Every structure is written in structure tokens, then in C-alpha cells.
A = this chain, B = another copy of it.
Amino acid sequence: MNEPFTPPSPEITAVWTGLMRASRHVRDTVEAALKQAHLPPLDWYDALWEIEQAPEGIRPNALEARLLLPQYGLSRLIARLVEAGHVTRRPCPGDRRGQILHLTDAGRAMRRTMWPVYGAALTRTLAHALPEGEAPRLAALLKGLTGDGPPPQAPIA
């Protein structure tokens, strides 16, 4: 009942530190690019994007699954987006607890303004830092870490 503790292997540890450092570095770089352009943070982009993908509107609880936010985090993010005039809340027919979110024109414009800055930062940070042709493999390995799919089997084809 009291498993003798076996420390993680050096390989696992290297993945861990690499993952922490890399994700932080890349994210910071992108966030910095947005900030320097006087644009809102990444979370806003993701939310605007997801809402834009649902022209008929989308409910917060559906967004919660797509974005990577806890319920209260999303609730407040939406509040900020509404206050900024990027999103509207409308009553949800058939469920008076709910609401339906729509992007405003300003919201659409903001997302489109952010995209080049966002995308350019991504390319700058990632494209030159990966050996030619290794990106798909890296992406596949990372995807395996998310705990979603089944545990990986053979090397990625």
C-alpha cells in the first residue's frame, strides 16, 4: 500500500523541463508580440475565434469544452469581451438559465487584427527552431501527452 517511490527517469525529467521551458518561452513570445501591438491577450483570440466559428451563436458551456478554461474563468472572460463590445449575450430560447454568445462586428474586426500578429509571432518562434520536417513528429508526440487519445504504440509511422 505504500509503493516504494521510484524517481522518474532522466529521459522523463528532460521531457518535463523541456516542456515547461518551451511552452513558457513560446507562449511568452506570442503574448509579448500581441502586447507590443497593443492588442488583447491570447485568451481573447481563442474565444473570439470559437465564437466566430458558430454563426448561429454558441453557449458558454459549449465554449468551455473547446477553450481551456474553468467555468468561472470563462464567465469572466466573456464579461470582459462583452464590456469591450466584442461579444453580445442574448437570452437562450428554451433555457432561461443559458445565454447565446454572438460576435459583434468589432469582435470580428479585432480577431482579424490580431491574427497576423499572432501568426507571425508563431512562425518566427517555431518555424526556425525546428529541424526540417520534424514538426509533424513533434506535434504527434505532444498530442499523445494530452491524455486524450489512447496511449501511443509504435513510432509515429
Q: Residues on A close to B: CB < 8 A?
A: 3, 5-9, 11-16, 18-27, 29, 68, 115-116, 119-120, 122-123, 125-131, 133-147, 151-156
Contacts and interface: CB of A to CB of B under 8 A. Distances in A.
A143 B20 contact: no
Given A6-B123, A12-B123, A23-B20, A130 B144 contact: yes
Contacts of A20: 23, 27, 68
A23 B21 CA distance: 9
Secondary structure call for the A interface: helix
Given A138-B138, A141-B134, A145-B130, A19 B8 contact: no
A122 B16 contact: yes
B119 A18 contact: no
Contacts of A68: 20-21, 24
B155 A129 contact: no
Given A19-B26, A20-B68, A21-B68, A130 B142 contact: no
